Chains A and B, each alone.
Chain A
């Protein structure tokens, strides 16, 4: 059967590729050991043509892999000559500056052969549980403190995994079995994608991906440029102040909108921190582009064509373009606020389409038994419950309370956390008055209260934001409440980054930030204010924010 490459056929093949990458992603999630993968879908899967151009990428729980995977595959493909590749080879790296911003993310790439030549590549990324070093926390002083870095290498040679490499990964991890399981899941994911890609090519009778690839990329590029053309051209600047670790930070962005695309530059942004909250540019780019694509051309799938018009740059060494060997383990803390940064620029061009700032950075609370508990034979545990604050109010609707954005993480269930860890959570409720006032109200943060359940101390590893600087409103909307961490009986608030030791008698209170409001609070529908009062989302005092104060 001769290949029929009419638009309908090309589109069916495009849909099939999108289905294949979603299937690849599901394969990976099902087999993953890391809770962040399972609960939050912190993975990615993609299919690339022979030139290394990305044709399709799974839509997964975290946007941190957008662009990063596309760039990483190009890099690996350049690094290893295609003519040396053999069927069954798989290449990998976890280099944060090549893969996805920190050591835990492993990226694999497999060439797909048809009739003896490479017709494309499949790739996938997954978050591994533990790579040694100081573990998931901001305490490292450089990348070497943070664990094992594997430069680009051949992980599987013609179907045979590199035993020495696997030994090294096992020997450098607190969770060797889970890590090995995750690596095998990644291999299986690449292979499954390759098999399905080939069977699709057979079914449709195509010998290469050239014409399909051009169709996907051209259609997507054209659609994206059309969407960008609807944004008023110009140069838009924005500044965000963040808590930082040892000192406060400024993040600057300049967005240039032109017929050629959208370019973001981080010039003016503060330098790196001494601790692991620094962000490699690939990761900052991923979240920045994600945010822009939520507003501009959000209906177009991610591929080389739809991503090409978006470019991001920043001065070398600024905290959003961190260079080796600075520590980067918690790069998501600031990476997740880059959407607020760049949306603040875009808002100036599209005042009616961009939401206010939100809590943005997730409140993940990794907890572990205190070291002496293990030594004394007490209950050992490690859990990482994730919670969120409120999202920014939208131009035509209130923000969402206790909801993840920009990440797509799942919040944890109290009953599950308490089943697997000796902690008692006494309260988890919305925080009244935490949503920024506005014509549309910001989403509310939440309040979580917790103690040790068995009298044994435990440690919380904090890396959260917006305890000092709240999420700002837009168009006259007020800021949301900043987050707050404290002991009920303590005198001082606790900073958002670093190790926190919780003793037997301590009663810990977390309050996540609220989202900013949109529009002048005076314009809020009085019925909406009454309903908020009736529902206890605002107090009588909080309702005062909606009265005109001339």
Chain B
């Protein structure tokens, strides 16, 4: 990246569109938030782009890099605004979607309804054919049945088709043949095939992924084309790259083929930013904490690499319960998302237990304090009552805050039931919501075989800096980093993403009796495909390839990701791979199980341009403790007592300045609460570093 480079990142979210313009590696020239224009999202994006150009006196035709992320794909799936999809599966397997995993996602709820998986049974069609698990043909594709299939397809009213034939991951020939015939006979249909979209074993997951891809493909194809044309018309010359769920970028062409990979790209940007800060600051273990208005997202980052997963669930039912959404198998940055944000509504259940969320007051009607008709107290209302949000500076003064109304609502809804006052109620709400975020983080760490306590939290999002020290305390985390511009963190993260593409393919084998030729051919085909996709967007940059196998003990469910050498495998690799698996297993489960066979079902290849260079972080100057001139009364989150908190604007703090809590550090989009048991100082990059040290504590 030369210093002349000028790069633009646009993140279209549900409420706001964030735009950031950067010169060179990381000099942020301008950033802005505009309202998302749902009718035509490119309008809001264009407004943001023009605003940052004007602010920095540059023009769109000077832009050398353009990265775009959008929540449109996710929202289309959540709001059911996609195509009419029909499925074609192997004869005898019409009900893969409906049968799914045969389970209820909530053990005690006898009235639950299963997730709507977009294709009702009348559009679930079949064709006679059959592969076995090894990819050998048991029944050839019955081409004589295709005319009948076309009649059914026409009658179904489908404009997109998802084809998922049994064991197509092992042999895609029937799917390809069927796709080609459909393309020829019904050129207006959009066709997704499972062996392209998600070539992994497990017919239900593969079909869901293919359906979701087909469902949003026509919509995203046309959106991406219009978006690109619009910006090109305004002078943009460079290619537009799309942010994906895996934290990498791909071309508009690839995005149009696999639009399902675009879901949740915004949060992935946040994780990339946190990873970058971790790399620059040399922090090995990080918990990123992104708290907005409706949800909080937590991600584990080790050695500057966000944790990744190959599975994601779209549109979980209201309580974010696992299994209540539509599973898709795509490479994603692994996050836990819970219904806890500023707008989360607090109440008391019939047992007299205080509850917070997952229901959110959103932006309409919003918290009671907004005076827009909200009557139920929210997390933001509690934070106002506790004195942590300064009414005059909230949201750059665009939203008028009524600081008395929240107290009345808290007293009425909570105080009356729990025999406490507004402050006691607000303190309770804060404790419950912060504990639930910390619990989600701890649980996520346990599920990943990791520990939270030793990590540094990197906090951003509109409410992240406000709740960081409280959540950190509950999670046993004692160090927090709050980057500059925490409100547009995701868009900033886009600028550090590599161009990348990942493919996962299933091929079952035992490590001991590995079919070397078969596996090497499989991997080399995957590398060709992934490198080809990356080359389209890499602009001549070199491509690095990473091969991985997902291994487990025969009979166990949990897979462990093991890196493979960047060359063909040979017999001598079995022993070191076994050792690598056992070492990793020992790390996660304390002891390996000698004598147990190791099996591999999935193989992955990731091709990517090299990560951006990480400049060394200059040393933080010697710390000088400063005493803010102003103070405000707050209710201390450590002991519930009224205390005077230092009150200072982040703008005036210089590297090396240190403030002991309790303190409030304000900036345009958010406020950082430095709890009484924390101190905060500014490092050489302008990050706020919060450290728990009982000094200022109770």
A 295-332 to B, binary, CB cutoff 8 A, 1 in contact else 0: 10011100000000000000000000000000000000
A163 within 8 A of B: no
B622 within 8 A of A: no
Q: Are A188 and B590 in contact (CB under 8 A)?
A: yes
Q: Are A177 and B593 in contact (CB under 8 A)?
A: yes
B251 within 8 A of A: no
Q: Are B601 and A419 in contact (CB under 8 A)?
A: yes
Q: Are B107 and A19 in contact (CB under 8 A)?
A: no
B354 within 8 A of A: yes
Known pairs A177-B595, A388-B102, A429-B93; A22 contacts B113 (CB<8 A):
no
Contacts of B113 in A (CB 8 A): 397
Q: Are B103 and A33 in contact (CB under 8 A)?
A: no
Interface residues on A, range: 35 or more
Q: Are A428 and B110 in contact (CB under 8 A)?
A: no
B 467-489 to A, binary, CB cutoff 8 A, 1 in contact else 0: 00000000010000000000000
B431 within 8 A of A: yes
Contacts of B166 in A (CB 8 A): 414-415
A1 within 8 A of B: yes
Q: Are A429 and B110 in contact (CB under 8 A)?
A: no
Interface centre among B351, B556, B588, B594 (most CB of A within 10 A): B351
The secondary structure that dominates the B interface is: loop
Contacts of A446 in B (CB 8 A): 95, 99
A16 within 8 A of B: yes
Q: Are B449 and A8 in contact (CB under 8 A)?
A: no
Known pairs A8-B432, A22-B443, A401-B99; A293 contacts B108 (CB<8 A):
yes
Taking CB as reference atom, which chain B residue is nearest A176?
A: B595
State the CA gap A401–B101 with chains docked (Å). 11
Residues of A384-420 contacting chain B, CB below 8 A:
386-388, 394, 396-397, 400-405, 408-411, 413-416, 418-420
Contacts of B435 in A (CB 8 A): 12, 15-16
Known pairs A39-B557, A129-B555, A418-B167; A355 contacts B596 (CB<8 A):
no
Taking CB as reference atom, which chain A residue is nearest B558?
A: A30
Known pairs A8-B432, A30-B589; A414 contacts B446 (CB<8 A):
no
A38 within 8 A of B: yes
Interface centre among A298, A403, A411, A424 (most CB of B within 10 A): A403
Q: Are B94 and A429 in contact (CB under 8 A)?
A: yes
Known pairs A294-B110, A430-B98; A12 contacts B121 (CB<8 A):
no
Taking CB as reference atom, which chain B residue is nearest A14?
A: B353
Chain B nearest Cβ from A530, distance in angstroms: 11
B58 within 8 A of A: no
State the CA gap A404–B101 with chains docked (Å). 9
Choose the segment among B74-82, B196-204, B393-401 that binds chain A (4+ C-beta atoms closer than 8 Å): B196-204
B517 within 8 A of A: no
Contacts of A203 in B (CB 8 A): 476
Q: Are B596 and A184 in contact (CB under 8 A)?
A: no
Taking CB as reference atom, which chain A residue is nearest B204?
A: A413
A144 within 8 A of B: no
Q: Are B104 and A453 in contact (CB under 8 A)?
A: no
Q: Are B447 and A30 in contact (CB under 8 A)?
A: yes
A 122-140 to B, binary, CB cutoff 8 A, 1 in contact else 0: 0000000100000000000
Contacts of B104 in A (CB 8 A): 400, 403-405, 408
Contact partner of A428 (CB less than 8 A), chosen from B95, B120, B439, B447, is B95
Contacts of B142 in A (CB 8 A): none
A476 within 8 A of B: no
Counting residue pairs across A and B whose Cβ atoms lie within 8 Å, the total is: 200
Taking CB as reference atom, which chain A residue is nearest B429?
A: A8
Choose the segment among A88-96, A231-239, A534-542 that binds chain B (4+ C-beta atoms closer than 8 Å): A534-542
State the CA gap A61–B107 with chains docked (Å). 7
A181 within 8 A of B: yes
Contacts of B223 in A (CB 8 A): none
Chain B nearest Cβ from A528, distance in angstroms: 13
Contacts of A452 in B (CB 8 A): none
Taking CB as reference atom, which chain B residue is nearest A354?
A: B110
Taking CB as reference atom, which chain A residue is nearest B168?
A: A415
Contacts of B432 in A (CB 8 A): 8, 11-12, 15
Contacts of A449 in B (CB 8 A): 92
B111 within 8 A of A: yes
A271 within 8 A of B: no
Chain B nearest Cβ from A499, distance in angstroms: 23
Q: Are A33 and B138 in contact (CB under 8 A)?
A: no
Known pairs A31-B589, A59-B107; A418 contacts B133 (CB<8 A):
yes
A427 within 8 A of B: yes
A35 within 8 A of B: yes
Q: Are A178 and B596 in contact (CB under 8 A)?
A: yes
A214 within 8 A of B: no
State the CA gap A463–B102 with chains docked (Å). 19
Known pairs A30-B558, A400-B114; A9 contacts B201 (CB<8 A):
no
Contacts of B465 in A (CB 8 A): none
Taking CB as reference atom, which chain B residue is nearest A298?
A: B108
B427 within 8 A of A: yes
Q: Are B102 and A410 in contact (CB under 8 A)?
A: yes
Residues of A190-242 contacting chain B, CB below 8 A:
199, 203, 219-220, 222-223, 226
State the CA gap A188–B589 with chains docked (Å). 9
A462 within 8 A of B: no
B 513-553 to A, binary, CB cutoff 8 A, 1 in contact else 0: 00000000000000000000000000000000000000001
Contacts of A1 in B (CB 8 A): 639, 698
Q: Are B640 and A416 in contact (CB under 8 A)?
A: no
Q: Are A415 and B95 in contact (CB under 8 A)?
A: no
Q: Are A33 and B640 in contact (CB under 8 A)?
A: no
Contacts of A188 in B (CB 8 A): 589-590
Contacts of A460 in B (CB 8 A): none
B630 within 8 A of A: no
B50 within 8 A of A: no
Taking CB as reference atom, which chain B residue is nearest A222?
A: B351
Contact partner of A33 (CB less than 8 A), chosen from B110, B203, B508, B553, is B553
A157 within 8 A of B: no
Interface centre among B95, B109, B640 (most CB of A within 10 A): B95
Q: Are A8 and B427 in contact (CB under 8 A)?
A: yes
State the CA gap A453–B113 with chains docked (Å). 37
Q: Are B589 and A396 in contact (CB under 8 A)?
A: no
Chain B nearest Cβ from A450, distance in angstroms: 11
Residues of A1-27 contacting chain B, CB below 8 A:
1, 4, 6-9, 11-12, 15-16, 19, 22-23, 26-27
State the CA gap A31–B431 with chains docked (Å). 32
B436 within 8 A of A: yes
Chain B nearest Cβ from A310, distance in angstroms: 14
Q: Are A535 and B120 in contact (CB under 8 A)?
A: yes
Chain A nearest Cβ from B114, distance in angstroms: 7
Q: Are A426 and B92 in contact (CB under 8 A)?
A: yes
State the CA gap A251–B113 with chains docked (Å). 30
B57 within 8 A of A: no
Interface pairs (25), CB distance under 8 Å = A6-B420, A7-B352, A16-B435, A19-B442, A30-B557, A31-B556, A35-B555, A177-B594, A178-B596, A181-B553, A223-B350, A295-B110, A387-B102, A402-B95, A410-B102, A410-B103, A413-B203, A414-B166, A415-B202, A415-B203, A418-B167, A424-B132, A428-B92, A428-B99, A430-B95
Binding site for A on B (CB under 8 A): 92-95, 98-104, 107-111, 113-114, 120-122, 130, 132-133, 138, 166-167, 201-204, 349-354, 418, 420, 424, 427-428, 431-432, 435-436, 439, 442-443, 446-447, 449, 476, 508, 553, 555-558, 588-591, 593-596, 601, 639-640, 698
Binding site for B on A (CB under 8 A): 1, 4, 6-9, 11-12, 15-16, 19, 22-23, 26-27, 29-35, 38-39, 59, 61, 63, 129, 177-178, 180-181, 184-185, 188, 199, 203, 219-220, 222-223, 226, 293-295, 298-300, 355, 386-388, 394, 396-397, 400-405, 408-411, 413-416, 418-420, 424, 426-430, 446, 449, 453, 534-537
Q: Which 4 pairs show the lowest CB-CB distances between chains A and B?
A: A411-B102, A38-B557, A8-B428, A427-B92
Known: A226-B350, A411-B99, A535-B121. 12 other contacts (CB 8 A): A12-B431, A23-B442, A26-B446, A30-B558, A404-B102, A410-B102, A411-B100, A418-B167, A419-B133, A430-B94, A535-B122, A536-B122
